[in-house]
Structure 1
Amino acid sequence: MKKIGFLSFGHWSPERGSQVKTAADVLTQSIELAVEAEKIGVDGAYFRVHHFARQLASPFPLLAAAGARTSTIELGTGVIDMRYENPLYMVEDAGAADLISGGRLQLGISRGSPEQVVDGWRYFGYQPGEGEDHAAMARRHAEVFLQQLDGEGFAQPNPQPMFPNPPGLLRLEPHSEGLRDRIWWGAASDATARWAAEMGMNLQSSTLKTDETGEPFHIQQAKQIRAYREAWKAAGHEREPRVSVSRSIFALMTPEDRMYFGRGGKESDQVGIIDQTRSVFGRGYADEPDRLIEQLREDEGIAEADTLLLTVPNMLGVEYNVHVLDSILRHVAPGLGWR
């Protein structure tokens, strides 16, 4: 059994053919997609975070609104770029959104990916400390965020406060119990996956990975997941970790499906350079359900994960994306033992 969620990059564009022409469109449609996905049995609604782009950017208002409209579906990110974040303010935002949702947030955080502007985090007021690069700054922000999610008091109270304080040092409020265990790290390399395990975070592994062995993407990803689980066990954490992978998977059920995704071209891995690092991009899947089932059985990365996030073409609108998700749940997942 696997949890199956969707991952939306939240694109919007006024171009012809787009069903998502404005920022208001993408926000309201993202909420509606979470509502409709919950109705058909999807386990999670996850959203990408990009800055300086016509995409979803500030996740917590969206997560809170979706949480208020739904009751069971997990609500998450994949991922929040920690180079841009004030970790203390983020604790407050995350705590509020988690409480509104009844404890359903699953927050993916990471160093982030290349953005639309050069060193965009500098415009947000952040810069690496002495001896740091931007990746180390992101990890430092993440460590502060994780520490404060524990809910321990750390701030000296005013001896003459406007309102009475509880005894002792004060913590950030609102505090949401259990949220610390629902933080995920988006890891591109084996080393950062091991670090995530040591820090007690769940693992998000997407369709992009640092090419460390030259092997096919799904094999490298499976090895990364196994390395993560070994590091988790060595760290002595008491709970079981969760691991997600993301894939583009489309069951060709209708003429519209074949028009959009039936032309091929993504049946093999691709290699590129990201931040001067050789990276491998995993293949996509688009085929008739029975052939999809056979192909997906060979994907070792999916086999190692407990959660699968399906990337969705959000600009095609809510109705079509519900069809895409429903096709996988009805015609593919049962044949693989995922349902």
Structure 2
Amino acid sequence: MKKIGFLSFGHWTPTPQSHTRTASDALLQTIDLAVAAEELGADGAYVRVHHFARQLGSPFPLLAAIGARTRRIEIGTAVIDMRYENPLYMAEDAGAADLIARGRLQLGISRGSPEQVIDGWRHFGYRPAEGETDADMARRHAEVFLDILRGEGFARPNPRPMFANPPGLLRIEPHSEGLRERIWWGASSNATAVWAARLGMNLQSSTLKHDENGQPFHVQQAEQIRAFRAAWKAAGHAREPRVSVSRSIFALVDDRDRAYFGRGGEEQDTIGVIDQTRAIFGRGYTAEPDVLIAQLAKDEAIAEADTLLLTVPNQLGVAYNAHVIEAILTHVAPALGWR
């Protein structure tokens, strides 16, 4: 059994070909797609966060709105770039969104990917400390965020407050119990996956990672997952971790699918360079259901993960994206034992 959700970048483009032409369209349609996905029996609604881009950039109002409109589906991010975040203010926002969703938030955070502008986090008021890289700063912000989510008091109360305080040191409010265990780290390397395991974060692994040994993408990703689980066990955490992988998967079941994706896509892994590091980008899957089933059965990383996030072409509209999700849930997942 696997949890199956969707992952949307929330692109919007003011062109006639797009069903998502404004930022308002992107936000409201993401809410509607989450509602539709829940009705179809999907398990998760996740959003990607990018700044300075015509995409979803401010996740917590959106997550709270999805939480208010749904009752069962998990709600998450994949991922929030911690270079841009104030960990304390983020803890307030995350606590509020999780309480609105009644404890369904699954928050993916990371060092982030290359952004639209140079050192965009500087415009948000953040700079690495002396001797730090921007990646070090992101991990430092993440560690502070994790510590705050424990709900322990740390701030000395004012002896003459406007409102009466509880006894002792004060914590960030609102505090949502259990959210600390629902934080995920988006790891692009084996080393950061191991680091995340030691800190007790779940693992999100996307459609790209550092090319560490020249093996096919799904093999390297499966190795990363196994390294994460070994580090988790060595750290002695009491609970079982969760692991998600992302994939672009389209089942060709009607004329619309064939018109949009019938010519195929990236059916082979590709190699590129991210931040001067050799990276491998995983292939997509586009075929009739019986062919998809045979192909996906050979994907070692999907087999290792407990959660699969389907990247969706959000600019094709809510109805079509709901169809994409339904096609996987109906025609593919049962044959693979995911349902």
Give me the TM-score of the superposition, normalised by structure 1: 1.00
Q: CA deviation at 1:214?
A: 0.3
Q: CA deviation at 1:16?
A: 2.0
Partner of 1:148: 148
Question: What secondary structure sits across from 1:106 in the alignment?
Answer: strand
Query: Could you tell me how far apart the structure 2 residues matched to 1:131 and 1:5 are?
Result: 39
Partner of 1:114: 114
Partner of 1:95: 95
Q: Is the 8 A contact 2:190 2:228 kept in 1?
A: yes
Q: How does 1:4-43 map to 2 (within 5 A)?
A: 4-43=4-43
Partner of 1:275: 275
1:175 aligns with 2:172: no
Q: CA deviation at 1:107?
A: 0.2
Partner of 1:235: 235
Query: Could you tell me how far apart the structure 1 residues matched to 2:14 and 2:117 are?
Result: 21
Query: Could you tell me how far apart the structure 2 residues matched to 1:264 and 1:289 are?
Result: 14
Query: Could you tell me how far apart the structure 1 residues matched to 2:121 and 2:263 are?
Result: 39
Q: How many residue pairs end up in the alignment? A: 339
Q: CA deviation at 1:17?
A: 1.0
Q: How does 1:47-86 map to 2 (within 5 A)?
A: 47-86=47-86
Give the AA of the match of 1:142.
A
Query: Could you tell me how far apart the structure 2 residues matched to 1:300 and 1:16 are?
Result: 40
Give the AA of the match of 1:124.
F
Query: Could you tell me how far apart the structure 2 residues matched to 1:213 and 1:259 are?
Result: 37
Query: Could you tell me how far apart the structure 2 residues matched to 1:57 and 1:37 are?
Result: 22
Give the AA of the match of 1:90.
M
Q: CA deviation at 1:264?
A: 1.9
Query: Could you tell me how far apart the structure 1 residues matched to 2:261 and 2:146 are?
Result: 40
Cα offsets for 1:128-162 (capped at 9, x unmatched)? 00110000000000000000000000000001111
Cα offsets for 1:150-202 (capped at 9, x unmatched)? 00000000011111100000000000000000000000000000000001000
Query: Could you tell me how far apart the structure 2 residues matched to 1:127 and 1:260 are?
Result: 43
Alignment gaps of 5+ in structure 1: none
Query: Could you tell me how far apart the structure 1 residues matched to 2:49 and 2:175 are?
Result: 23
Partner of 2:335: 335
Give the AA of the match of 2:41.
G
Give the AA of the match of 2:45.
A
Query: Could you tell me how far apart the structure 2 residues matched to 1:260 and 1:280 are?
Result: 25
Question: What secondary structure sits across from 1:157 in the alignment?
Answer: coil
1:202 aligns with 2:202: yes
Partner of 2:157: 157
Cα offsets for 1:76-100 (capped at 9, x unmatched)? 0000000000000000000000000
Question: What secondary structure sits across from 1:7 in the alignment?
Answer: strand
Query: Could you tell me how far apart the structure 1 residues matched to 2:170 and 2:271 are?
Result: 49
Partner of 1:166: 166
Identity %: 76
Give me the TM-score of the superposition, normalised by structure 2: 1.00
Partner of 1:308: 308
Query: Could you tell me how far apart the structure 2 residues matched to 1:302 and 1:229 are?
Result: 15
Query: Could you tell me how far apart the structure 2 residues matched to 1:95 and 1:256 are?
Result: 41
Question: What secondary structure sits across from 1:159 in the alignment?
Answer: coil
Give the AA of the match of 1:224.
Q
Q: CA deviation at 1:265?
A: 3.6
Query: Could you tell me how far apart the structure 2 residues matched to 1:265 and 1:329 are?
Result: 21
Question: What secondary structure sits across from 2:278 in the alignment?
Answer: strand
Query: Could you tell me how far apart the structure 1 residues matched to 2:208 and 2:266 are?
Result: 14
User: Could you tell which deviates more after superposition, 180-189 or 254-263?
Assistant: 254-263
Q: Is the 8 A contact 2:264 2:287 kept in 1?
A: no
